[in-house]
Amino acid sequence: MNEPHYLQPLLPTPFHSRTQAACCTALWSGWAGYQSARCYTHVEFEYFAARNQATLFDLSPMIKYRIAGSDSLPYLNRLMTRDVGKLAVGRVAYTVWCNDVGKVLDDGTLFRLDDNEYLLCAQDRHLPWLQDSAIGFDLEVEDVSERFAALALQGPTSYAIVQRMGFDDLMSLRPFGWRRVKYRGAELIVSRTGFSGDLGYEIWSAPDQAESLWDDLMAAGADFGLMPMGSDALELLRIEAGYLLPNADFMPADHATRASRGRSPFELGLGWLVDFNKGHFVGRRALQAERAGSGRYTFVGLDIDGNKPAHESLIYHRRRELIGHVTSAMWSPTCKRNIAIAELQAGREAMLDDLWVEIYLKKELKWEKLMVRCRVVPRPFFDPPRRLATPPAAY
Amino acid sequence: MPARGLIRARVAEISPPLIRQQFPLMLSYDAIIIGAGHNGLVTACYLARAGLRVVVLEGNPYIGGATVSRELYPGFTYSNCSYVCSLFRPEIFRTLDLPRYGLQVIPYEGSVTMTRDGGYFASFVDHDANRREISRFSKRDAENYDRFSHEMSRQCRFIKKFLLTTPPDPTSFKWRDLKDLASLGAAFYDLGETQMYDTIRFYTMSCADLLDQYFESDVIKGVIAGSSIIGTALGPYSPGTAYVMLHHYMGEVDGTIGAWGYARGGMGSIATALANALQAHGGEVRVNAEVNDVIVKDGRVCGVALKDGEELHAATVASNLDVKRTFLNIMDERDLPAEFVRRVQRFKIRGSSGKLNIALDGMPSFPQIPENCPARRGDMHITDSMERIERAYDDWKSGTWSKDPYVDMLIPSQIDPTLAPPGQHMMSVFVQYAPPRLASGDWTDADRDAFGSTVVDAIGAYSPDFKDRIRHMEVRTPRELEAEIGLTEGNIFQGELTLDQLMFNRPVPGYAQYRSPVEGMYLCGSSTHPGGGVMGAPGANAAREILRDLGRKDGQL
Ligand SMILES: Cc1cc2nc3c(=O)[nH]c(=O)nc-3n(C[C@H](O)[C@H](O)[C@H](O)COP(=O)(O)OP(=O)(O)OC[C@H]3O[C@@H](n4cnc5c(N)ncnc54)[C@H](O)[C@@H]3O)c2cc1C
């Protein structure tokens, strides 16, 4: 590419020749500087493929950092709210990390590749933060985003497909585990992880194997209903799975202009990721104080009457007092419920039995306002037993 | 199937001597439902949710009635009768929380028809793709298709309001009936003047007359007309078929009106999910429990007697069987007014359909349809004009099955991984027309096989390797539909969907509110409003009326 970079601000991923050929819709979006298909054929069919068959999603734009060196573990334990010491080689952990005042900077998955080597996958870029925090530790942090081409293979038949690919040894792979598998004379990493809340795998390869990997997976998946899936359908899956998305459900603390916009893990309902039984970590003091009862917000799942999604709706107690807002909403075709993830003011437990959402609805160009009853329900909204079953079922 | 296990467990819990001792002669319930078709199960679920002790008695060793899936050949699950889902009311799906009990409905894209000139016509979800496809046949029809769709949407919007309501009785002059009539009138008035005229015509006109208003291409009309005769002993030129088409349009999948989907695991998973929901609410299902008699004393129902003589007692009994079987077979005519019996005898319930379920060792080829056409995963047809459908109907009238049949064939295993081994396929072929009796007399096994061959040959003409791929086949004529699931004459809707048998006339005038002349005896199957199809609405409406009579507000929709 000799053209100046500014003529192509969004780069193709290593799968581009394949994703472009598969995309019938001309619907693309930018994701971390790359072209990412929003939808290949039809959102509905891609969504259902993920809940009934399997889908392939190009995950390559995900930001990835490699952390290696003898101090990796103490360093990560200082950075992350979780106890990284509990993470064994071969395992993956979902984690968040905070700033000094205990507000979440990002969430991501941490792979323990070896005794002293980790891979951190994140939504946002954090190199200066990660490097500056490493002062005094014996280790190296590097951005390895371009070294991997990655695919998410998700859905009930995903195990049948990896079997058909000849990836042995995955039968005993439990959720949040990873293995190296042989592939065309090289090695891939396959992890039982994903953003769909269903059975599924993420496959990490070298970029020069991307195209053959795509082709081989699509061929292996032909008898199992495999379809490429874009980010629009993924958004539906992740809401049903009850996962939060930075910049949608909460502001990463370092992006917020208003200090009040930062959220602690407790306020996001992620308190289970905070471990005070380990040594010092960034944000610890603030979080300890907060645990004593100063949290301002809480995240909940909502089940809303009717079938009109409550996008960006405000939430009222007894139709009058504003006590929160919806951050993500959808009609769930699998649960057959009108669901939402919402932020409520903390300390309002007594009000939860009389909650209402305000939905604005355009019916043939005429706006209508609905006040609709809703109830707090547990997340995930959809949690099929096959997600955790080991060995996984064929569908 | 998990639910079957559950059912057996439940039966085992209930029938041991311990309970027999408490009720030495018979078991006693608050309500007995005869028949575990999907409507009977829906009624039972609502009653159990309201706290009633409910038992569902099913004659067959399996549940579901015409909403059933069975493995008749190892590794292959057939949906033996109904095969696609759209009509099932979303309100019921949600209130009974059926996803939690394992129900998932997966939409599919459109349909494709192979034409006699070697071409094809497909329909697509994408509006522009669809318009360009129609314009290959007629530019005018492509643009008129939108007008036609709007008309159908208006009719759907109108009728949708009445699906989960009890039809008002126009002659009772009761406050409730007057109120409901008024709201029917208001909805009608709301249509606007032109639309009011159109609506009245719509309910009586033929599908052909309707389509001629919009389209000029024979292929387009032939394709659309298919849904106007499914399950109906009429041709597209017969008055009343425009409504039958609407009946097939008024469903939805996740708010997409007119969309159809597959129930994951086959249609039987709808019945399974309902049975699981019922059991979660404390209700019971008993299979192999054929009801022989409804016991009536002093004009009041008090229980049922099974074929083996066992009696079960309840002051409320609801029958999921069609209106004829209920009142003419398992009830004593002497318990019913003579005029009522005569009307039931005259109820039109003519069979007109057959079904083939086929296990294939691979995907058959259809050289006329492009390999990558997504409509292959939906309905496939081989009838390309209304004329041909009408000729097929002519055979029905002459007392034989159609020699050039209309088929609605699907291969759901392309989408649903649970139905067949990987790479192999299950095919469902719905066939129109097959008469309840042949001119030569009753159906014989040889007739059934000849019917099957006619259909296989018709499909084989479009798929060279189809016949060689067949590993097993189940052929059902109206005879099998009647004998196995008790659909009188094999009518798939438990009675024809013509205006004289709809709304307050279904099943018979004066008894459209799920009640019968015998106190405590109700109907809850497809013979009642709003009619046949896997819809659940008759069952839910009946439950509401039963609860109303019992003075219960809870458990309502
Ligand atoms: C071949 C075929 C294809 C169809 N395709 C579709 C489709 O694709 N989509 C769709 O929406 N609809 C379809 N239909 C229509 C739909 O399946 C039926 O209208 C609907 O399932 C009827 O349900 P029901 O509960 O009212 O009655 P049924 O399903 O008829 O249930 C009646 C039940 O009562 C039982 N029973 C009978 N006698 C006794 C007795 N004496 N004692 C105890 N139990 C008894 C029967 O065994 C049965 O289980 C199809 C029907 C057929 C036959």
Per the CB < 8 A criterion, the answer to whether B478 and B434 are in contact is yes
Neighbours of A386 (CB within 10 A): 17
Is residue A385 assigned to a domain? no
User: Is residue B528 over pLDDT 90?
Assistant: yes
Cβ neighbours of A336 in B, within 8 Å? 90, 93-94, 98-99
Question: Nearest-CA neighbor of B417 among A366, A332, A221?
Answer: A221
Residue A7 in tokens: 């003529």
Whether B268 lines ligand 1, by a CB cut-off of 6 Å, is no
Tell me the average pLDDT across B439-456: 98
> Cβ distance B426 to B74 under 8 Å?
no
**Is residue A24, in this structure, part of any structural domain at all?**
yes
The per-residue pLDDT for range A124-176, each reduced to its tens digit, is 999 999 999 999 999 999 999 999 999 999 999 999 999 999 998 899 999 99
Query: What was the pLDDT predicted at B25?
Result: 53
Percent of chain A scoring above 90 in pLDDT: 94
Residues A27 and A167 in one domain: yes
CA distance B118 to chain A (A): 26
A359 vs A356: CA distance, rounded Å: 10
For residue B94, which residues of chain A lie inside 8 Å, CB to CB?
336-337
**Cβ contact B418–A307 (<8 Å):** no
Q: Give the DSSP letter string of A237-256.
A: HHHHTT---BTTTB--TTT-
Is A114 a domain residue?
Answer: no
Q: For chain B, say whether A333 makes contact (Cβ under 8 Å).
A: yes
Q: Is the pLDDT of residue B200 over 60?
A: yes
Coil/strand/helix, residue B235: coil
Q: Which numbered atom of ligand 1 lies nearest the CA of B86?
A: 11
B85: which strand partners?
B261
The burial of A362, by beta-carbon neighbours within 10 Å (0-12 exposed, 13-18 middle, 19 or more buried), is given as exposed
Does residue B405 sit in helix, strand or coil? coil
pLDDT range class, residue B557, cuts 50, 70, 90? low
In this model, does residue B3 exceed pLDDT 90?
no
Residue A282 domain-assigned?
yes
Q: Which residues of B touch A395 (CB under 8 A)?
A: 417-418
A332 and A280 part of one domain:
yes
A42:B418 CB<8 A: no
The pLDDT tens digits for A337-355 are: 999 999 999 988 788 889 9
Please give the single-letter amino acid code of residue B42.
V
Q: Is the CB of B83 under 6 A from ligand 1?
A: yes
How confident is the model over A281-285, as a mean pLDDT? 96
Only one residue has tokens 């004998």, namely: B483
Interface contact flag, A333 B94, Cβ < 8 Å: no
Distance CA B40, CA B36 (A): 5
Spatial distance between the Cα atoms of A304 and B196, rounded to a whole number of angstroms: 35
Residue B335 Cα to ligand 1 middle (Å) = 26
* Burial class for A320, CB neighbours closer than 10 Å (0-12, 13-18, 19+): exposed
* Alpha helices in chain A, H assignment, sequence order: 16-22, 43-52, 72-79, 127-132, 158-164, 210-220, 231-240, 284-291
Q: What is the pLDDT of residue A1?
A: 53
Q: Are B77 and B70 in contact (CB under 8 A)?
A: yes
Tracing tokens 């071969």 back to the chain, one arrives at A90
Q: What is the ipTM of this complex?
A: 0.94
**B16, pLDDT greater than 50:** no
According to the model, what pLDDT value does residue B11 have?
A: 36
- Yes or no: say if B409 and B461 are a contact pair by the CB < 8 Å rule: no
CB B274 within 8 A of CB B291: no
What CATH number did the domain enclosing A324 receive? 2.40.30.110
Q: CA of B511 to nearest chain A CA: how many angstroms apart? A: 32
Same domain, A350 and A286: yes
User: Residue A52, SS3?
Assistant: helix
Local structure of A36: helix, strand or coil: strand
Shared domain check, A345 and A285: yes
Amino acid A349: pLDDT: 79
* pLDDT tens for each residue of A199-249: 999 999 999 999 999 999 999 999 999 999 999 999 999 999 999 999 999
The reported pLDDT for the residue numbered B22 is 44
Residue A253 lies inside a defined structural domain of this protein: no
Q: Is B206 in the pocket of ligand 1 (CB under 6 A)?
A: no
Residue B543 CA to residue A182 CA, distance in Å, equals 59
Query: Residues A339, A303: contact at Cβ < 8 Å?
Result: yes
What would the two tokens of residue B230 be?
A: 């499914």
Instruction: Name the residue range of residue A265's domain.
Output: 259-377
How far from B168 is each of B279, B323, B493, B513, B555, CA to CA, in Å? 33, 19, 22, 8, 21
**Tokens 């459109």 belong to residue:** B110
B105 CB burial (10 A radius; 0-12, 13-18, 19+)? buried
Candidates A225, A334, A394; nearest CB to B99: A334
Tens of pLDDT along B125-180? 999 999 999 999 999 999 999 999 999 999 999 999 899 999 999 898 899 999 99
- pLDDT score of B10: 37
Q: Whose CA is nearest to atom 2 of ligand 1?
A: B81
Indicate the pairing of strand A34-39 with strand A27-31. Answer: antiparallel
Helix (H, G, I), strand (E, B) or coil at A346: coil
**Is B555 a residue whose pLDDT tops 90?**
no
Report residue A291's pLDDT band, with 50, 70 and 90 as the boundaries.
confident
Does A103 map to a domain?
no
Residue indicated by tokens 């009188």 = B488
Residue B254: per-residue pLDDT: 87
Which helix (H) or strand (E) segment holds residue B211: the answer is helix B207-214
CA distance A297 to chain B (A): 30
Quick one: which of B32, B27, B39, B35 has its CA closest to B62? B35
Instruction: CATH number of the domain at A44, please.
Output: 3.30.1360.120
Nearest CB neighbour to B254, from listed A52, A225, A333: A333
* Residue A293's pLDDT band (cuts 50, 70, 90): confident
pLDDT, average across residues B420-430: 98
pLDDT for B4 equals: 34
pLDDT at position B9 is 34
CA distance B466 to A200: 35
Please list the alpha-helical segments (H only) found in B399-534: 445-460, 466-469, 478-485
With an 8 Å Cβ cutoff, are B422 and A225 in contact? no
Q: Give the tens place of pLDDT for each residue, B306-326.
A: 999 999 999 999 999 999 999
> Using the beta-carbon criterion (under 8 Å), do A51 and B104 form an inter-chain contact?
yes
Which residue did the predictor score with more confidence, B300 or B27?
B300
φ, ψ of residue B403 to 5 degrees: the values are -80, -25
Residues of chain B neighbouring A392 (CB-CB closer than 8 A) = none
**Pair A160, A286 in one domain:** no
Residue B309 CA to residue B349 CA, distance in Å, equals 30
Residues A305 and A369 in one domain: yes
Cis bond upstream, residue B433 (ω within 30): yes
A371 in the same domain as A297: yes
HEC secondary structure over B44-93: HHHHHHCCCCEEEECCCCCCECCCCEEEEECCEEEECCCCCECCCCHHHH
* A38 shares a domain with A163: yes
Residue of the CA atom closest to atom 50 of ligand 1: B82
CA distance A138 to chain B (A): 51
Mention every residue, 6+ apart, whose C-beta is less than 8 A from residue A260.
none
Does A294 fall in a domain? yes
Q: Is the pLDDT of residue A180 over 50?
A: yes
Let me know: does B185 contact B191? Beta carbons within 8 Å: no
pLDDT, residue B269, reads 98
Ligand 1 centroid–CA B40 distance in Å is 10
pLDDT at A2: 66
User: Of B514, B526, B528, B529, which is best to mutate to test ligand 1, by the most ligand atoms within 8 angstroms of its C-beta?
Assistant: B526
How far is residue B326's CA from residue B318's CA, in Å, rounded to a whole number? 10
In the numeric block, the tokens 């471990």 are attached to: A275
Bridge partners of B525? none
pLDDT the model gives residue B300: 97
Same domain, A274 and A319: yes
**Window from A193-197, B179-183, B553-557 with minimum mean pLDDT:** B553-557
- Return the C-alpha torsion angle B270, B275, B281, B282, nearest 10: 180
Give chain B's mean pLDDT.
93
Q: What are phi and psi of B292, to 5 degrees?
A: -95, -40
Greater confidence, B550 or A1?
B550
For the ranges B175-179, B231-235, B424-428, B541-545, the lowest mean pLDDT is seen at B175-179
pTM as predicted: 0.94
Residue of B534, B535, B541 to mutate, ligand 1, most atoms within 8 A of C-beta:
B534
A29, two tokens:
């979006």
Which amino acid would we find at residue B160? Answer: K
- Find the mean pLDDT for residues B412-437: 98
Q: CA-to-CA distance for A275 and A385, rounded, in angstroms?
A: 28
- Interface touch B126/A224, C-beta < 8 Å: no
Q: Classify residue A237: in a domain, yes or no.
A: no
Which of A271, A286, A279, A250 has its CA nearest to residue A105? A250
Q: Residue B109 and residue A335: Cβ atoms within 8 Å?
A: no
Could you tell me the two tokens for B437?
């009796």
* Secondary structure element (H or E) that encloses residue B300, with its range: strand B300-306
pLDDT tens string B266-290: 999 999 999 999 999 999 999 999 9
Tokens (6 digits) for B142: 């492509």
What domains does chain B contain, in order, with CATH numbers? 11-103+265-347+494-555 (3.50.50.60)
- Cα(B314)–Cα(A156) distance, integer angstroms: 44
Tell me how close the Cα of B112 comes to any Cα of chain A, in angstroms.
Answer: 18
Instruction: Answer whether B352's CB lies under 8 Å from B65's CB.
Output: no
Torsion sign over Cα A391, A393, B3, B8: negative
Residues of A with CB below 8 A from B106's CB? 48, 51-52
Cβ atoms of B85 and B266 within 8 Å: the answer is no
**How many inter-chain contacts (A to B, CB under 8 Å) are there?**
55
Query: What DSSP assignment string belongs to B505-528?
Result: GSSSTT--SSB-SSBTEEE-STTS
What is the percent of chain B with per-residue pLDDT over 90, rounded to a whole number?
87
The pLDDT assigned to A259 comes to: 86
Which protein residue's CA is at the shortest distance from atom 49 of ligand 1? B65
Task: Give B239's strand partners.
Answer: B206
pLDDT of residue B511: 94
Chain B residues with at least one Cβ partner in A under 8 Å: 90, 93-94, 98-99, 104, 106-107, 109, 125-126, 253-256, 264, 374, 414-418, 422-423
Same domain, A264 and A225: no
Least confident of A49-53, B61-65, B165-169: B165-169
**A190 pLDDT above the threshold of 50:** yes
Token look-up 């996803």 returns B99
The count of domains in chain A is: 2
Q: Which atom of ligand 1 is nearest to the CA of B60?
A: 47
Instruction: Mark yes or no for CB contact B417/A337 under 8 Å.
Output: no
Chain B interface includes A395 (CB < 8 A): yes
φ/ψ of B391, rounded to 5, equals -65, -35
Determine the average pLDDT of the residues in B411-432: 98
Residues A205 and A344 in one domain: no
pLDDT single digits (tens) A262-274: 999 999 999 999 9
Domain identity same for A207 and A282: no
pLDDT, average across residues B53-80: 98
For residues A392 and A370, what is the distance between their CA atoms, to the nearest angstrom? 43
If phi over 0 gives left and psi between -120 and 50 gives alpha, with beta otherwise, what is residue A94? beta
Chain segment B209-257, per-residue pLDDT in tens: 999 999 999 999 999 999 999 999 999 999 999 999 999 999 989 888 8
Structure-block tokens of residue B158: 């109108």
Q: What is the pLDDT of residue A333?
A: 95
* Residue A169: CB atoms within 10 Å: 11
- Ligand 1 binding pocket includes B270 (Cβ within 6 Å): no
